[in-house]
Structure formats: C-alpha cells, structure tokens
C-alpha cells in the first residue's frame, strides 16, 4: 500500500470531428445541446438535423484546411501529459497519483468514455477541470451537466472537486503576456500596433440572461494588459465566430480588423478564450481574418498562439487542481465581476 490518493483529472472541452465523415454528427451534437439551441424537443432535434446537414459541406471545407479533422484532441492529450508531469513534481510529496482523462462535449472521447475509464482506473477522487477559462452556460455548465449524467450512468461514487473558471489565474495571464511581447515587436512595436483580444462570441440574449462569460473575458484582457505594463498600449476586446440571425455581443473581430486597416494600425491578435489551437484559430483567425487584414490594408497581422502547453499555464492548472483538492465542492473565483456561480447546480448529485 502506498497511501497515495488516486486523483482523476477530467479535462473538459468542446471536442472536434476527427475525420470528414464525423463533421455532420459533430455539428448535430452541438446544435442538439439545449445549452446552445434553447428550444424544447422535438423541435430542437429537428432543427439540429436541418442546421447540421446544411452547414456540414462548409464545415468540411474548413476542416479540410486542417487535414480533414480537428487537432483539439491530440493537443488536449499533450496538455494532460504536461499537467501530469508537473503534478508528479509538485503533488504533496508524492501523496497523490494524478492521471488525466479527456471528456469532450460533442465528439469522441465523450464524457461516457471518460467516466468508464475513470471507474476502471479506480480513482479515489475526481477533479473536473474545464479548459474554458471563462465560465459560460453554453460551455462549462453544459460540460458539467453532461458529466453528471455520464458519471451517474457509470456508477461513479468517488468524491468530486470542481474548478469553475479561472479568468485571472496568474499562470494563464503571464503565459499570454509572455506570448504577446515578442508579437508586438514583430508587428512593429507597441506604438504602431493594436492588440486585439478575440474571443468566441455569444448571442446577447445569453449574456442578458445572466451568463458571466463576457465579463470574465474582459477581466482576463484587463489583467493581461496590466501584466504587460506597457504605457499607452492600444488594445481592444472583440468577439468572433458569429452565426445565425440573433444579435451577438460585440464589437465583432472582423469589424475591428477593418477599422485597423482604415486607421493604418498593425494588429496583434490574441485568441483569449481558446487555450488550444483548433478551427477558430487555425482557420478563422489565421486564414479568413488574415486575408481580411490584407484586403483591409492592415500593415502587419500577427496572431499569438494559444497558451497550449506553455509552462506557466500548465503550472496554473496544477495549482487549480491542488487547490480544488483542498476545497469541498466548487472552486470559484470570488472576484469575478458579474459571475453568479451555477456550477453547484450543474453538478448536483454526482458525488
């Protein structure tokens, strides 16, 4: 007997299709989520079928730019390995044994697969660690609810610790600051460049209903600017990936790129809400918005990488894991403005 606690860390993200034929079912799973399309069944099911069928050809073209599928799963696996290595060095002098498991929301590996693996491994405790730094009902809460269902069906009884969100976690903030500094120099220096923090958008109605996502995104941007400590830095928070007829939060990233071109401003673009590369960064930001920047006359367009396996970010995740193990229930930052934590409700009944 080693006396070590076996801690399963469940890394949560949206997932992505791994091959062209997975694109349409991935889209169906996305749009059939009641957190995304908020109408009752059977109407949501029918609408999800219609939207996924119509959008699949365009989406397949997008993923063709990435070799036919999303790189999100292998990149998340790399983050998991890096986190295990840090925890092996830091985790209470060897008193815990940590292992990471992936639970993707809309394509494999699903929460059901992760729950079965966690049970087979014999975890003593479970930490739910969303790879969404900013809490949203459309991402974090949806993943928590999905885990609740999967864990119940798998018969998991181990105590559960939950990391709600981490918009100002020092490692997350310092990692992005460290990536932005050389990008600013590549773009001609702070006096010539504007930093665009680009996050995935949401319909305004979602925010008006109390979702804290936008407030937390803007909190992260302000914290990074403070960490950079560059006097007079020109920066702007904006939102990408707008779809459908609803009014979305803004300003829109594409409009900010056009504005920069009109003003002769170079751009440093930071994917603030994405911790891994995927279609929104590698295709939308790099290819589509890169083209828009050239057509708009932007003097320089430099895209900052997602934090990925940056050591500061991984160290920050390790701190969150260790802190959550000393916390009952949900670990939630008390200073996040506008954040009313609904994670307790989302995970009720899984431990």
Dump pLDDT digits (tens) for 161-195: 999 999 999 999 999 999 999 999 999 999 999 99
- Regarding predicted confidence, which is higher, 300 or 95? 300
User: What integer pLDDT is reported at residue 350 of this predicted model?
Assistant: 45
Binding site for Fe(2+): which residues?
200, 280
Q: Where in the chain is the domain with CATH 3.40.50.1400?
A: 5-15+70-167+310-347, 170-303
What CATH code is assigned to 5-15+70-167+310-347?
A: 3.40.50.1400
Does the pLDDT of residue 1 top 50, yes or no?
no
Residue 97 makes CB contacts below 8 A (sequence gap 6+) with: 2, 4, 5, 6, 7
Query: How high is the pLDDT of residue 95?
Result: 81
Q: Options 3.40.50.300, 3.40.50.2300, 3.90.170.10, 3.40.50.1400; which CATH number does 170-303 get?
A: 3.40.50.1400
What tokens does 120 get? Answer: 């087979």
Closest-CA residue to 138 (of 76, 42, 220, 207):
207
- List Cα–Cα distances, 57 to 108, 121, 199, 351, in angstroms: 21, 40, 25, 42
Binding site as annotated, residues: 200, 280
pLDDT grade for 246, boundaries at 50, 70 and 90: confident
> What is the distance between the alpha carbons of residues 16 and 320, in angstroms, rounded to a whole number?
25
* CA–CA distances in Å: residue 203 to residues 36, 143, 185: 10, 19, 35
Identify whether the C-beta of residue 68 lies closer than 8 Å to the C-beta of residue 272: no
The pLDDT mean for the chain works out to 93
Can you tell me the mean pLDDT for 102-123?
Answer: 98
CB-based burial, 181-208: b 16+ in 10 Å, e otherwise: eebbeebeebeebbbbbbbbbbbeebbe
Residue 215: the pLDDT is 95
Q: What is the rounded (10 degree) CA torsion for 204, 208, 214, 218? A: 110
CA separation for the pair 202, 243 (Å, rounded)? 9
Position 119 pLDDT exceeds 50: yes
Rounded CA gap, 71 and 197, in Å? 22
pLDDT higher than threshold 80 for residue 343: no
Q: Report the distance separating Cα 206 and Cα 321, nearest Å.
A: 29
In angstroms, the CA 240 to CA 273 distance is 11
């Amino acid at each position: 007997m080693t006396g070590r606690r076996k801690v399963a860390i469940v890394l949560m993200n949206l997932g992505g299709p791994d091959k062209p034929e997975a694109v349409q079912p991935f889209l169906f799973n996305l749009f059939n989520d009641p957190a995304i399309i908020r109408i009752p069944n059977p109407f949501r099911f029918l609408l999800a079928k219609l939207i996924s069928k119509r959008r699949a050809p365009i989406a397949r073209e997008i993923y063709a730019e990435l070799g036919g599928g999303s790189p999100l799963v292998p990149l998340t696996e790399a983050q998991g390995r890096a986190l295990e290595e840090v925890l092996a060095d830091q985790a209470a002098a060897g008193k815990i044994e940590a292992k990471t498991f992936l639970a993707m929301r809309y394509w494999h590996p699903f929460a059901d697969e992760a729950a079965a693996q966690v049970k087979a491994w014999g975890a003593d405790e479970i930490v739910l660690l969303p790879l969404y730094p900013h809490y949203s009902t459309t991402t974090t809460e949806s993943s928590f609810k999905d885990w609740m269902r999967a864990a119940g069906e798998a018969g998991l009884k181990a105590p559960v610790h939950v990391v709600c969100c981490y918009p100002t976690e020092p490692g997350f903030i310092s990692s992005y600051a460290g990536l932005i500094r050389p990008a600013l120099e590549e773009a001609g220096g702070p006096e010539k460049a504007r930093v665009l923090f680009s996050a995935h958008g949401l319909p305004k109605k979602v925010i008006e209903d109390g979702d804290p996502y936008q407030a937390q995104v803007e909190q992260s941007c302000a914290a990074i600017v403070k960490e950079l400590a560059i006097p007079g830095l020109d920066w702007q928070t904006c939102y990408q990936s707008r779809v459908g007829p609803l009014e979305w939060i803004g300003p829109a990233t594409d409009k900010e790129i056009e504005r920069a071109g009109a003003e002769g401003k170079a751009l440093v673009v930071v994917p603030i809400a994405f911790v891994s590369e995927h279609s929104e960064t590698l295709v939308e930001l790099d290819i589509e918005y890169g083209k828009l920047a050239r057509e708009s006359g932007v003097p320089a367009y430099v895209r900052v990488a997602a934090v990925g396996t940056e050591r500061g970010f991984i160290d920050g995740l390790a701190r969150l894991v260790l802190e959550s193990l000393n916390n009952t229930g949900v670990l939630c930052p008390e200073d996040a403005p506008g954040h009313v934590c609904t994670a307790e409700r989302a995970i009720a009944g899984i431990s």
